Chain A
Amino acid sequence: EAGVTQSPTHLIKTRGQQATLRCSPISGHTSVYWYQQALGLGLQFLLWYDEGEERNRGNFPPRFSGRQFPNYSSELNVNALELEDSALYLCASSLVQGSTDTQYFGPGTRLTVL
């Protein structure tokens, strides 16, 4: 069974541009979560989608947004990129809605903002 996949692996943008990151969950999983992991820091919760709807978001500005498609894949958009947005962006999926269900992570997208 394929795991969580993310694309692209690396993304380089300049300040002020927009970035789009993509995630495909494990087959059968309906919940997708996004996390930001800045260099040397822990995982910060960004967004949670389930059944196409945003269920919860972390303490991030509105320029971080996303959506979930009918096939449960998800997209994270970051507008008006700032230098401090440089980080590894991780996507995770779980089988059943809710935070107490095991989350399985993808390999991440490394975003570099110049």
Chain B
Amino acid sequence: GENVEQHPSTLSVQEGDSAVIKCTYSDSASNYFPWYKQELGKGPQLIIDIRSNVGEKKDQRIAVTLNKTAKHFSLHITETQPEDSAVYFCAAAYSSASKIIFGSGTRLSIRP
């Protein structure tokens, strides 16, 4: 069935270093891949998204890459800062099923 796998489940990086979170999806019909950041006690906030007609998208320190052949996509955060500490979720939209499937989340901690 439809599935999105996300790795790692926890990630700790030194402030200023880069963080990479990877996701794979199962349905080749997926064509929309958003990333959400969830801080403690809050709802998920969209930080960046990519559609299947694009291989890479960048917004300041955040970038997302998509490999449709391999069915995986990744989030890259450069020059990490303490405020980047949160849980990050990837997702894949299966338009034929009209719903978004979320990964299990990555808890990112930035060490000072």
A residues contacting B by CB (< 8 A) are: 4, 33, 35, 41-43, 45, 48, 55-56, 58, 90, 98-100, 102-108
Q: Please state if A102 and B49 are interface contacts (CB–CB under 8 Å).
A: yes
Tell me, yes or no, whether B43 is within 8 Å of chain A by CB: yes
- Number of chain B interface residues as a range: 20 to 34
The distance in angstroms between the C-alpha atoms of A53 and B45, with both chains bound, is 26
Of A4, A42, A102, chain B has the most CB atoms within 10 Å of the CB of A42
Q: Nearest chain B CB to A106's CB is how many angstroms away?
A: 5
Q: Please state if B102 and A107 are interface contacts (CB–CB under 8 Å).
A: no
The distance in angstroms between the C-alpha atoms of A99 and B93, with both chains bound, is 6
Interface secondary structure of B, over-half rule? strand
8 Å CB interface, B76-100 against A: 89, 93-95, 97-100
